[in-house]
Amino acid sequence: MKGQRVQQLASSADREGTNMNTILFFGLLSLAVTHLADKKNENSGTKFLAYLKSDYQPCVGTLIHQQWVVTAAHCYLPFLQVKIGSPNENIKGWLQDQEINYEFLFRHPNFTADSPEHDIMLIKLAKSNNQHVLVDLPTSINDLDGSICVISGWSQNWKYPFTDADIQINQMARWLSPVQCKGASPRNITARSMNNMFCAGMYPHQQNVCQEVSASAAICKGQLHGILSWTDGCVLKGDIGYYTKVYKYRNWILDIIEKN
């Protein structure tokens, strides 16, 4: 499977090192990386995002192939519409909202509504889409603890709650260890679930309120490493999010694509 590799938006942040000791430093660095990512997005950047609309809630999808989008299994919703491009006509360099029909939905067979595990789904588009950037699947998960990722997704304007989310945001987040993940949430997080998931964020004890689209993409070292499953806050503001570890499902993804 070939696609144009997404630029490694977080590489400059990685070189800053791991000794960030104050919230102020986190915040300033986050703003700097977000600004850098936005500048790159004018030409390629996060044009790999799809907007998945339904009667219940929208979701973020990520283009990994000219005809395939990956998202969260909890986005298996009625009357799903797949839109490629930006719903906001004022975003420079983006192709406008293109609704594309889909042929099949493949939700992971082990996903259940009462567990965050295996929260991943594939969508086969009815036709190939050759006008957008693709993001690569991860080839390894070694040495990712402490790495800087970029969380990409859509947010909604509070002034217009009944319109589609049209604010595209890139937020820096740090890949945290399983111990840090458990300590960052009041929920009962099992070791088994963390085997297939990871958490990332900049502010472990912060919980913002916002209107963001579910299933944001976590791009780490230029590859799609995570799909947002759940959060107690707002990942597009640096809060901790819990992500499906895409590498664990790489073989399942490739098998589905090959057979369909």
On whether residue 77 sits in a domain, the answer given is: yes
On whether residue 18 sits in a domain, the answer given is: no
On whether residue 29 sits in a domain, the answer given is: no
Q: If you average pLDDT over every residue of the chain, what do you get? A: 78
Distance, in Å, from the CA atom of 149 to the CA atom of 8, rounded to the nearest integer, reads 9
122 and 256 Cβ atoms separated by less than 8 Å: yes
So what's the pLDDT on residue 162? 61
Distance, in Å, from the CA atom of 48 to the CA atom of 60, rounded to the nearest integer, reads 10
On whether residue 27 sits in a domain, the answer given is: no
Helix, strand and coil percent figures for the chain, each rounded to 5: 20, 30, 50
On whether residue 108 sits in a domain, the answer given is: yes
- Catalytic machinery residues: 74, 119, 214
199 and 34 Cβ atoms separated by less than 8 Å: no
Distance, in Å, from the CA atom of 184 to the CA atom of 130, rounded to the nearest integer, reads 40
Query: Phi first, then psi: what are they for 231, rounded to 5°?
Result: -155, 150
Amino acid at 36: L
Q: Which pLDDT tens digit goes with each residue over 225-246?
A: 999 999 989 999 999 999 999 9
On whether residue 44 sits in a domain, the answer given is: no
So what's the pLDDT on residue 161? 61
- What CATH number has the domain bearing residue 199? 2.40.10.10
On whether residue 17 sits in a domain, the answer given is: no
Distance, in Å, from the CA atom of 179 to the CA atom of 37, rounded to the nearest integer, reads 29
What is the residue whose two structure tokens read 């707002």? 234
Query: How many domains does the chain divide into?
Result: 1
In the predicted model, what is the mean pLDDT of residues 31-54?
56
CA 131 centroid distance within chain: 20
On whether residue 72 sits in a domain, the answer given is: yes
pTM attached to this predicted model: 0.78
Q: Which pLDDT tens digit goes with each residue over 102-125?
A: 999 999 999 998 888 999 999 999
So what's the pLDDT on residue 180? 87
Structural domain boundaries, residue 126: 49-259
Q: Is the pLDDT of residue 139 over 50?
A: yes
Q: Tokens in use for 130?
A: 């050759």
In the predicted model, what is the mean pLDDT of residues 171-191?
82
